[in-house]
């Protein structure tokens, strides 16, 4: 926001003394809700056109309002608009300026509406826009994951449970797990958008309007899918904002998990990946350092979005119907949630593109962790050994390999046979990571062909989502 000033008079004849300056500053929201300006103007124009169509204001008034709003839009975009704290919020600032510019027509604009249904409409328009932008950014990030995954269906890394080496998986398969999470995130946003996209205008202060206004016409011109059905609910409902923030918190949680893995993977002890220098920073004291600041910050920023979700839930929990000034506190958490998400998602696609994979280090980690031990047990089961017995034989083999400081695949066939006489030389096929992943061909498995198919389906899904 550029200019704000405090030099305006009391705003209502109802009051016998001016509002205390401290109260004025405390209650004003224009310092942050100025961001709703373009949506406020859009909604006001839709309202004015409806008022004219219903013969509540004249065509001449409408022309004046349109001309005035045009001028105001320009003043705002060129940074010439003077925001006034004394005019409390974005709505009153714009309305007052309109009246300065066009006179009585400006004063007629507020017929049949209240700031209560006005602000609810503005936030919905803002959030619908933000949701669409975030959906696009999610798609970009999913494309980046697919692009990276495509080249790594044969790159084998250890899959972990309890952060201990568990079984081999392909790097592509691992990335595709995040693709799935983001897919659910997008579904959530799409669902949430439906509930955002309802029109509160017409509820007026809380009881509805006595003027012959046409709510459907306003809804249609603003692209809303329907009306808020109850005037009390229309002005006081913020479920859609909470739902959005919950969806945002889940997105941040997913990105925080991926960030945590990226941080671990680029630690030299793992050494599974390297990140482009453009995503890292150095240390002012330790010359050897290359720090993963971006994923660390993403992990950290998830906290503020969770916080905003709690703020909004707490904001609403004790409010009696209908509108209460408390609701003004919905904006900052919401704006910051959107800003954090947009900034994070925008950066994250290039972060994924900038990952350089180190297959040898992954391979080394697989060997050290006996990642194919389960495959050896499965091999014995196929030969008719009960799984529990196979499990025990393999456990003893692992202990021996550990003692000799080698991988299971490095054990001589004679040694392996001492753990179970059914082990034959063909065992070495299952003891390799390649052999292990090749068997996981069921839907959802890590076999290269299966993952390639998953990538193909995922690509088609993204094209469909974008209507291509
Ligand atoms: N600035 C207010 C808000 O954000 C607008 C609505 C004010 N309505 C009222 N009756 N004071 O919620």
CA-closest residue to ligand 1 atom 12: 328
How many Å apart are CA 131 and CA 284, to the nearest integer? 39
Q: Ligand 1: which residue has its CA nearest to atom 4?
A: 328
Q: Taking a C-beta distance cutoff of 8 angstroms, is the pair 250, 257 a contact? A: no
Q: Is 116 in the pocket of ligand 1 (CB under 6 A)?
A: yes
C-beta of 325 in contact with ligand 1 (< 6 A): yes
For residue range 352-363, what is the model confidence (pLDDT) as tens digits? 999 999 999 999
Question: What mean pLDDT value characterizes the chain?
Answer: 95
For 263-277, what is the mean pLDDT?
A: 94
Query: What pLDDT score was predicted for residue 361?
Result: 97
Kindly state if the Cβ of 317 falls inside 6 Å of ligand 1: no
What topology does CATH give the domain 365-465? Ribonucleotide Reductase Protein R1; domain 1 (1.10.40)
pLDDT at 386 over 90: yes
Task: Report pLDDT for 10.
Answer: 46
* Ligand 1 touching residue 236 (CB < 6 A): no
Q: Does pTM surpass 0.85? A: yes
**Is residue 185 pLDDT above 90, yes or no?**
yes
Window from 103-107, 290-294, 371-375 with minimum mean pLDDT: 290-294
- Indicate whether residue 29 lines ligand 1 (CB < 6 A): yes
* pLDDT value for 4: 53
The dotted CATH code for 120-149+167-206+237-363 is 1.20.200.10
pLDDT at residue 1, as a whole number: 57
- Domain spans of the chain, in order of start: 12-111, 120-149+167-206+237-363, 365-465
* Residue nearest to ligand 1 atom 2, measured at CA: 328
Per-residue pLDDT, 259: 98
Pair 432, 404: CB distance under 8 Å: no
In the prediction, which pLDDT does 279 show? 78
Give pLDDT tens digits for 42-101: 999 999 999 999 999 999 999 999 999 999 999 999 999 999 999 999 999 999 999 999
Centre of ligand 1 to C-alpha 214, Å, is 23
Mutate to test the pocket of ligand 1, among 37, 86, 119 (most ligand atoms within 8 A of CB): 119
Query: How many angstroms is it from 323 CA to the middle of ligand 1?
Result: 8
- Ligand 1: centre distance to CA 242 (Å): 18
Q: Average pLDDT for residues 286-293, to the nearest whole number?
A: 83
211-247: pLDDT as tens digits: 999 999 999 999 999 999 999 999 999 999 999 999 9
Alpha helices per DSSP H over 354-426: 359-368, 373-382, 387-404, 413-419
The CATH number of the structural domain formed by 12-111 is 1.10.275.10
pLDDT-derived band of residue 158, with 50, 70 and 90 as boundaries? Answer: very high
Q: Rounded distance, CA 132 to CA 139, Å?
A: 11
Q: Give the Cα separation of 78 and 220 in Å (integer).
A: 30
- State whether the beta carbon of 113 lies less than 6 angstroms from ligand 1: no
Percent of the chain whose pLDDT exceeds 70? 97
**90 Cα nearest atom in ligand 1:** 1
Q: What is the pLDDT of residues 125-135, one digit of tens each?
A: 999 999 999 99
pLDDT at 284: 79
Q: Report pLDDT for 289.
A: 75
Contacts of 188 (CB under 8 A, 6+ apart): 247, 250
For the Cβ of 328 lying below 6 angstroms from any atom of ligand 1, the answer is yes
Nearest to 137 by CA among 370, 341, 381, 286: 341
Q: Determine which residue's CA is closest to atom 11 belonging to ligand 1.
A: 325
Provide mean pLDDT across the span 241-257. 98
**Gap between the Cα atoms of 446 and 432, Å rounded:** 14
- 441 and 414 Cβ atoms separated by less than 8 Å: no
Among 110, 315, 328, residue to substitute to test ligand 1 (most atoms within 8 Å of Cβ): 328
Ligand 1 midpoint to CA 246 (Å)? 24
- 255 within ligand 1 shell (Cβ under 6 A): no
User: Is the sign of the CA dihedral 334, 243, 299, 178 positive or negative?
Assistant: negative
Those residues with Cβ within 8 angstroms of residue 229's Cβ, 6 or more apart along the chain or in another chain: none
pLDDT at 28 over 90: yes
Active site residues: 162, 283
Distance CA 334, CA 351 (A): 25
Contact criterion met (CB below 8 Å) for 144 and 352: yes
Beta carbons of 159 and 174 less than 8 angstroms apart = yes
115 Cβ inside 6 Å of ligand 1: yes
């Amino acid at each position: 926001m550029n200019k704000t000033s405090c030099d305006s008079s009391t705003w209502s004849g109802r009051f016998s003394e001016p509002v205390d300056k401290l109260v004025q500053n405390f209650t004003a929201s224009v310092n942050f809700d100025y961001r709703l300006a373009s949506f406020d103007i859009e909604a006001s124009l839709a309202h004015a056109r409806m008022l004219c169509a219903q013969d509540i204001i004249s065509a001449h008034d409408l022309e004046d309002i349109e001309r005035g709003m045009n001028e105001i839009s320009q003043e705002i975009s060129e940074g010439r608009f003077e925001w006034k704290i004394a005019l409390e919020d974005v709505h009153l600032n714009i309305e007052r300026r309109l009246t300065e510019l066009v006179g009585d027509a400006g004063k007629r604009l507020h017929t049949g509406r209240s700031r209560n249904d006005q602000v609810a409409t503005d936030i919905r328009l803002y959030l619908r826009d933000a949701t669409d932008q975030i959906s696009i950014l999610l798609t970009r990030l999913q494309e980046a994951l697919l692009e990276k995954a495509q080249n790594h269906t044969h790159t084998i890394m250890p899959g972990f449970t309890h952060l201990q080496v568990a079984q081999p998986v392909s790097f592509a398969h691992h990335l595709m797990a995040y693709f799935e999470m983001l897919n659910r995130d997008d579904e959530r946003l799409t669902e949430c958008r439906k509930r955002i996209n309802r029109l509160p205008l017409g509820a007026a202060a809380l009881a509805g309007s006595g003027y012959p206004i046409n709510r459907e016409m306003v809804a249609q011109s603003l692209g809303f899918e329907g009306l808020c059905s109850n005037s009390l609910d229309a002005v006081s409902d913020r479920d859609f904002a909470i739902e959005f923030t919950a969806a945002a918190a889940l997105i941040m949680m997913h990105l925080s998990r991926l960030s945590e893995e990226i941080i671990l993977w680029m630690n030299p002890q793992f050494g599974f990946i390297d990140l482009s220098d453009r995503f890292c920073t150095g240390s002012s004291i330790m010359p050897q350092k290359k720090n993963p600041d971006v994923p660390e910050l993403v992990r950290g920023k998830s906290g503020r979005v969770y916080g905003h979700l709690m703020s909004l839930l707490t904001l609403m929990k004790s409010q009696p119907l209908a509108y209460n000034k408390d609701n003004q506190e919905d904006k900052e958490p919401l704006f910051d949630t959107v800003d954090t998400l947009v900034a994070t998602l925008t950066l994250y696609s290039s972060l994924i593109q900038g990952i350089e994979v180190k297959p040898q280090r992954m391979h080394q980690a697989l060997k050290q962790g006996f990642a194919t031990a389960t495959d050896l047990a499965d091999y014995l089961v196929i030969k008719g050994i009960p799984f529990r017995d196979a499990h025990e034989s393999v456990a003893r083999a692992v202990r021996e390999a550990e003692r000799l400081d080698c991988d299971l695949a490095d054990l001589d066939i004679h040694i392996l046979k001492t753990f179970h006489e059914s082990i034959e030389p063909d065992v070495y096929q299952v003891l390799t990571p390649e052999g292990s992943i090749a068997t996981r061909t069921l839907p959802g498995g890590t076999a290269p062909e299966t993952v390639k198919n998953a990538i193909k389906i995922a690509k088609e899904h993204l094209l469909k989502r974008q209507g291509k």
